[in-house]
Amino acid sequence: MSLLEARGLTKRFGGVAAVSDCSFAVPEGTITALVGPNGSGKTTVFNLLTGYLRADAGTVAFGGRPLRRPEPTRLARAGLTRTFQQARIFPELTLVENLVVAIQQPWHAIARRAVSRRDEARALALLEEFGLVAHAEARAGTLSYGQKKLLEFAAVLMGEPRLVLLDEPTAGVNPVMVEAMERHVRELHARGLSFLLVEHNMNLVMRLCDPVVVLDHGTKLAEGPPADVQSDPRVLDAYLGG
Amino acid sequence: MSRLRPLGLGRAAAVFGAAIAFPFLVTPDWLVNIGVFTLMYAGLATAWNLFSGFTGYISLGQAAFFGIGAYALAITFEHVSIGGGYRPFYSLPLIGLAVALASLPVAWVALRTRAMTFAIVTLMFLFIVQQLAFNLRSVTHGSQGVAVPQPSFTSNFDRPYYFAMLGLLALGLLATWYVRGSKLGLELLALREDEEKARGLGIRVTRAKLIAWGLSVGLTAMIGAVWGYYLFFIYPESAVDPLLMIGAVLMAFLGGKGTLWGPMIGALVLVPAQQWALTDFGATRLYLIAYSLVFVVVLLLLPQGIVPSLRRS
């Protein structure tokens, strides 16, 4: 069953169609990749799927239910969450606060203590897992870029999502960090979480993802297991010229 | 509550001990009068901070609710006896609650905008309310103003107003302290830094902003009501006064917006300075220059406000 399904997504900016009639699915329990040359519309698709942009046409269904008006808050609460290309965290908050604020609260909890003992324990356990526990009480703004990416990844997990959209999780981080990121995705996947990745590191995509969706000029060029996609002449064409 | 720290408690006890003792130690009426206005501005700056300091949305329209609070009290006690003179004070919570609730639809619309646009929209709202005060003559008596019945406190006339303002300031600080340590406060700080990201994490940003707004407006309206009762007579120009707003906002900036004590400290510095400049240079209007000089100096030396600059050094 597909957890997330996009059908006929279209988005124009002025006269330019950034995404046009794009359809693909993220099957439940997979690590799906969304790849394509620069400017092929990957990030725009992400923004459409997560409600940061309104599509001009097309529909998105999550967990089998169509989303009438995708909106980030509601989607996050329904279990669909994302990270951003530039590692968006709250720099003035501590690492623990960055994680605790991402726990989805019922409306009546807002008067409670900002960080309860239970919240803190949960946050520390996750920071431990991500190798950030030494900085738990530091302001997030003091972290390195790669650490910020890990923190952002950890933060979206606090909301107990079913599907995580990662926008270029390894862009601009060192090889050790790339390995760490891959390990975390694999572990979380083994625990039942599904992923959709935008990623430029093709080696990583080939190792980690199945299926792979290829975009070009805002529309789907190919979709399938990594080996098939890799040998698809249309894909080679899109990447190497044409 | 483990959030209560002895240092903070001691600080609060010292500040409020001194503030309570002030009208008993300093008897000249004109000094207690300056005390009332200092506390009023401290309360207004604290209330402003509760919304704008925590959310980063700079509202320039809170004076509208100050005026609405003043009119609400004045118009109510045109029809209701003030009894021994204390009854208007007891009506404050009701006025605060009513104005806060009535302001929520306005906020809901205004909060569709961000940054500068939000500041302009709220400023517009201030002028709309002022125009309404001029023109809804059947309710506000237009430019003639509304008279509030005078109480018959014989000696130490200023004291009840002083303590009412002090009580509202304490309420504002208490609310700020509580919000800052709560989940609401954490959500507000997060959305102040990156609202889009906060939404993506499932934080209900609009609701958080509206609660902070309601608290801020309720306090502002109660302070306005006490002010109206203190002056006996309220006019549209003075009740809905952009200068009052600018004053309170600058005090919050001066002391350090987003901090607990900053806005109050800003008021403690600026209101007496303002009064001094007014009496010494008032006739020549040079006081406005003296006033602005204070800001230039502070912005040059402590650009983030007094409290954050001290904390950093």
Tokens of A171: 């862009």
Least confident among A162-166, B189-193, B203-207, B254-258: B254-258
The predicted model gives B255-269 an average pLDDT of: 91
Which residues on chain A are in Cβ contact (under 8 Å) with B3?
113
Question: How far is B181 from chain A, CA to nearest CA, in Å?
Answer: 5
Percent of chain B surpassing pLDDT 90: 57
Q: What is the pLDDT of residue B282?
A: 65
Q: Which residues, other chains included, contact B6 with Cβ-Cβ below 8 Å and sequence gap of 6+? A: none
- Kindly report the three-state secondary structure assignment for every residue of chain A: CEEEEEEEEEEEECCEEEEEEEEEEEECCCEEEEECCCCCCHHHHHHHHCCCCCCCEEEEEECCEECCCCCHHHHHHHCEEECCCCCCCCCCCEHHHHHHCCCCCCHHHHHCECCCHHHHHHHHHHHHHCCCHHHCCCEHHHCCHHHHHHHHHHHHHCCCCCEEEEECCCCCCCHHHHHHHHHHHHHHHHCCCEEEEECCCHHHHHHHCECEEEEECCEEEEEECHHHHHCCHHHHHHHHCC
Residue at B225 is within a domain: yes
**Chain B hits for A93, Cβ within 8 Å:** 186, 189-190, 193
Q: What is the pLDDT of residues B133-146, one digit of tens each?
A: 998 888 888 888 88
Q: Is the pLDDT of residue A144 over 90?
A: yes
- The answer on pLDDT for B276 being more than 90 is no
Average pLDDT of the residues of chain B: 89
pLDDT above 50 (res B97): yes
Judge contact between B73 and B228, C-beta under 8 A. yes
pLDDT digits (tens, 9 = 90+) for B124-134: 999 999 999 99
Mutate to test the interface with B, among A84, A100, A101, A149 (most CBs of B within 10 A): A101
Find chain B residues with C-beta within 8 A of A155's C-beta. Answer: 201
Rounded to a whole number, what is the distance in Å from the CA of A28 to chain B's nearest CA?
A: 21
Best to test chain A binding among B184, B201, B211, B312 (most A CBs inside 10 Å): B201
pLDDT at res. B1: 38
**Binding-site residues on chain A for chain B (CB distance < 8 A):** 50, 52, 71-73, 76-77, 81-82, 84, 88-93, 97, 100-102, 104-105, 107, 109-115, 155-156, 159
Task: Find the largest Cα–Cα distance for chain A.
Answer: 59
Looking at beta carbons, which residues of chain A come within 8 Å of B205? 73
Range of the domain at B140: 15-241
Average pLDDT score over residue span A117-133: 94
Percent of chain A scoring above 90 in pLDDT = 76
Q: Would you say residue A239 has pLDDT above 70?
A: yes
Is residue B3's pLDDT more than 70?
A: no
Domain boundaries, chain A: 2-88+162-179+193-240
**Of B243 and A180, more confident:** A180
Say how far apart CA B73 and CA B71 lie, in whole Å: 5
Instruction: Please give the pLDDT value at position B298.
Output: 74
Which residues fall within 8 angstroms of residue B286, CB to CB, at 6 or more apart? B277
Put simply, the answer to whether B197 touches A93 (Cβ < 8 Å) is no
DSSP H or E stretch at residue B169: helix B159-180
Predicted confidence (pLDDT) per residue in A16-57, tens digit: 899 999 999 999 999 999 999 888 899 999 999 999 999 999
Radius of gyration of chain B (CA): 19
Does position B283 have pLDDT exceeding 70, yes or no?
Answer: no
* A105 to chain B: closest CA residue: B203
Which whole number is the average pLDDT over B71-76? 93
Rounded Cα distance, B64 and B126, in Å: 5
Residue B264 counted as domain residue:
no
Q: Which of B181, B187, B201 sits opposite A76 (nearest CB)?
A: B201
Number of Cβ within 10 Å of residue A144's Cβ equals 11
Q: Is A101 in Cβ contact with B187 (below 8 Å)? A: yes
Residue in A closest to B205 by C-alpha: A73
Query: Does residue A74 register a pLDDT over 50?
Result: yes
Q: B168-178: per-residue pLDDT in tens?
A: 999 999 999 99
Q: Which of B288, B235, B231 is nearest to B33 (CA)?
A: B231
Q: CB of A192 within 8 A of CB of A29? A: yes
Of the candidates A101, A167, A187, A178, the one whose C-alpha atom is nearest the C-alpha of residue A140 is: A101
d(CA A120, CA A98): 11
Contact B201 A81 (CB under 8 A): yes
Q: Is residue B297 a part of any domain in this protein?
A: no
Compare CB distances from B193 to A91, A112, A155 and report the shortest one's residue: A91
Helix (H, G, I), strand (E, B) or coil at B83: coil
pLDDT of B265 reads: 93
pLDDT of residue B162: 95
Give the Cα separation of B302 and B296 in Å (integer): 10
CB contact under 8 A, B190 and A90: yes
Among A84, A114, A155, whose Cβ lies nearest the Cβ of B181? A114
Q: Under CATH, which number does the domain A2-88+162-179+193-240 receive?
A: 3.40.50.300
Asked whether the predicted pLDDT for residue A242 surpasses 60, the reply is no
**Which residues in chain A touch residue B201, judged by CB atoms under 8 angstroms apart?**
76, 81, 101-102, 155-156, 159
Q: Which residue of A has its CA nearest to B206?
A: A73
Are B199 and A73 inside 8 Å of each other by CB? yes
> Which residue numbers of B have CB closer than 8 Å to A's CBs?
3, 178, 181-187, 189-190, 193-194, 196-205, 207-208, 211
Q: Are strands A16-27 and A2-13 parallel, antiparallel or unpaired?
A: antiparallel
What does the DSSP 8-state code read for residue B182? B
Q: Which of A66-75, B16-25, B83-92, B164-173 has the highest mean pLDDT?
A: B164-173
- Domain count within chain B: 1
So what's the pLDDT on residue B2? 44
Q: What distance in Å separates the CA atoms of residue A96 and residue A135, rounded to the nearest whole number?
A: 9
Name the pTM for this structure: 0.91
* Structure token pair of residue B122: 């709220």
* Lowest-pLDDT choice from A30-44, A175-189, A227-241, B214-228: A227-241
Residue B266 Cα, gap to closest chain A Cα (Å): 23
